[in-house]
Structure 1
Amino acid sequence: MSFAIELDQVSKIYQGKKAVDQLTLKVEKGTVIALLGPNGAGKTTTISMILGLKQPTSGTIKLLGGSPKDIKVRNRIGAMLQDVSVIDNLKVAETIELFRSYYSNPLSLPELLRISGLETEKDKMAASLSGGQQRRLGFALAAAGDPDIIFLDEPTVGMDVTSRQMFWDTIRSMAEKGRTVVLTTHYLEEADSLADRIVVINQGKVVADGSPSQIKAETTGRVISFTAGVTVTTEQLQALPGVIDVEWSGRRVKLHSRDTDQLIMKLIEQRFDMKDIEIQSGGLEDAFQAIVHSTN
């Protein structure tokens, strides 16, 4: 197994308080992973340690098999942090060219302008860009070195809907090319749409880890809904394995369950009179809130 990121029993203590508490995490290459958690959960501290910007109090961190501070490793990563600072008196294209010069195999200027959506702004002064445009410039700078791993901390704050959609498309394209993407966001639909894997951190510890569908199903359960024939009764449905709740709306019925795979098999085996079958998960927002509430 080839891992892009490896954390082993990593802790960070500030003034006697653990911001990160014996956190162990391995991320396979080519994964889009979303790190979620409430404010103060330890996400930003964790990313800062992975990037080598902060030293862990204890534990070990490997990035692409080496130290985060190794120059060869740093040449293969990119990072877009929450605060984007622009350089005075440089145009957008000049700023990107400056960052390209720091890497041995950078993406081309036209490509970086394209993926950041800044082609028409290339001759503008970087300091004159709007907040959303500055976020897009920050993304171009993070991607300048054609990184194997890119860290994106709240990347779409301030972006309009069109810019966010373009950004999502770019991230999917990077993932298809085998890049590892580490994303933190408060937009949970963003994590749900983009991430292969979601890791929820609370009080410095991993409290949930899985695909978006796994996180939602395990936390909020799933719902099977169908139009039931006149012979179907509540008592029959409640007797099925794994049914948590039964809701009726006319002849439309919803069955809440944590194992819809088993439940749908039983419905078919017992030849229930049903049509127009749908299976739905609860939302990631509901799952996230449930996880955080249960671990506080």
Structure 2
Amino acid sequence: MTSSTTGPAAIDARGVVKSFGSVHAVRGVDLRVQPGEIVAFLGPNGAGKTTTIDMILGLTNPDSGSIEVFGHNPRGAVARGLVSAVLQTGGLLKDLTVRETVELTASLFAEKRPVDEALERAGIRNLANRRVGLCSGGEQQRLRFAMALVSDPALLILDEPTTGMDVEARRSFWSAIRADAARARTVMFATHYLEEADEYADRIVLMRGGEIVADGPTSEIKNLVSGRVVHATLRDADLAALASLPGVESVETAGERVPIRTSDSDALARHLLTTTDARDVEITAQNLESVFLTLTADDAAPTLKEAVR
């Protein structure tokens, strides 16, 4: 999706710091998201993602630094209906129907979209008369999505939106999100499912230890970690011998399939094809999971964001 540089940023965070007692949750975060961007907000548990999201939503205030959402303070932006969120838990009354829940949410806003439209865009119009307590976890997440859409927000924040969903429910949910994002809405989402970030985000922001350690287009983030992965089918592979080859960084096994991370994929492929019984040799780039594990490791460089921003 194409972002716009005119007008105020969707999110403009500068020097944001937040601590809880002796725990430094967020350490000087600078983050600028332009209208129309789809941003994946990634990091391991305790990285500071949820605390940062809470501050963007005005649920808590930074100890220092500033945050603006479309030129307003976060609470002002929420009050104007400019930003909505789909959070992991909470906020649902089990005895109300799906429609009644969205109608109750809509009553909080002076300007809103029709309830039926929000239900349709969330893919749950057929569940309108079902009581919330009888909805599955995935259906309740779609209900939260409809609640977020009813104010027609310019910024939609999703915090682990597909937790607890099966594969089909996740695919269906993201199809609805993608269709809605096509309306030029800004979307920022936190997820532990890295394939979701890889498939749906224009840009990835990666946090570790309360700091942003990488920020850029998905393709460029992947290029931060050098090397390739060579996959081969090799029966009774000598893992120690493979690990000792020049350039090899790690060797794993998955049955007869052996993935090998290396800085010299061409030399490794020649070795496998000429001196072993390897077949079905395939060379691939590092995936997002490899990058995530490398950049969030305890011994990773303090910051790599300047490499892509």
TM beyond 0.5: yes
Matches within 5 A, 1:131-170: 131-170=137-176
Give the Å deviation of 1:52.
0.7
**1:56-105 per-position Cα deviation (integer Å, ceiling 9, x unaligned):** 00001000111112167541111111213311431111111111222233
1:131 to partner: Cα distance: 1.5
Partner of 1:273: none
- The question of 1:23 aligning with 2:23 is answered no
Displacement of 1:145 after TM fit?
Answer: 0.7
Name the residue aligned to 1:189. Answer: 195
Shift of 1:10: 0.3
Q: Report the residue type matching 1:289 in the other structure.
A: L
Partner of 1:177, secondary structure, is: coil
Does residue 248 (structure 1) correspond to residue 252 (structure 2)? The answer is: no
1:287 aligns with 2:291: yes
Q: Distance in 2 between matches of 1:79 and 1:168?
A: 15
The alpha carbon displacement at 1:182 in A equals 0.8
TM-score by length of 1: 0.79
Which deviations, in whole Å up to 9, do the C-alpha atoms of 1:5-64 show, x marking residues without a partner? 000000001113210000001001100101100001100000001111101000010001
Contact 1:33–1:181 (CA<8 Å) still a contact in 2? yes
Structural RMSD (CA): 2.5
Unmatched runs of 5 consecutive residues or more in structure 2: 232-246, 248-261, 275-281, 303-309
Q: How many Å separate the matches in 2 of 1:168 and 1:88?
A: 25
Equivalent position SS for 1:207: strand
Percentage of matched positions with identical amino acids: 41
Which of 82, 92, 98 is the aligned partner of 1:76? 82
- Give the structure 2 partner of residue 43 of structure 1: 49
Q: Distance in 1 between matches of 2:263 and 2:290?
A: 17
- Check 1:211–1:72 CA distance in 2 against 1; reply closer, same or farther (3 A cut): closer
Structure 1 position 105 matched with structure 2 position 111: yes
Distance in 1 separating the partners of 2:227 and 2:221? 9
Equivalenced residue count is 256
Structure 1 segments unaligned to the other structure (5+ residues): 226-237, 254-277
Amino acid at match of 1:191: A
Equivalent position of 1:67 in the other structure: 73
Instruction: Report if the CA contact (8 A) 1:68-1:74 is conserved.
Output: no
* Structure-2 change in CA distance of 1:163 and 1:208 (3 Å): same
1:95 aligns to what?
101
1:219 match: secondary structure: coil
| Residues 77 and 83, structure 2, Cα contact 8 Å, conserved in 1 | no
State whether structure 2 residue 114 is matched by structure 1 residue 114: no
Q: Which residue of 2 aligns with 1:9?
A: 15
C-alpha separation between the residues in 1 aligned to 2:284 and 2:110?
Answer: 47
For the 8 Å contact 1:67–1:73, the answer to whether it is kept is no
> Structure 1 residues 15 and 162 mapped into 2: Cα distance closer, same or farther (>3 Å)?
same
* Structure 2 length-normalised TM: 0.76
The amino acid that maps onto 1:18 is: H
Cα deviation 1:166-218 (Å, max 9, x = unaligned): 22122222322211101000000001111111000011000011111111122
- Decide whether the 8 Å contact of 1:5 with 1:61 is kept in 2: yes
How far off is 1:149 after superposition? 0.1
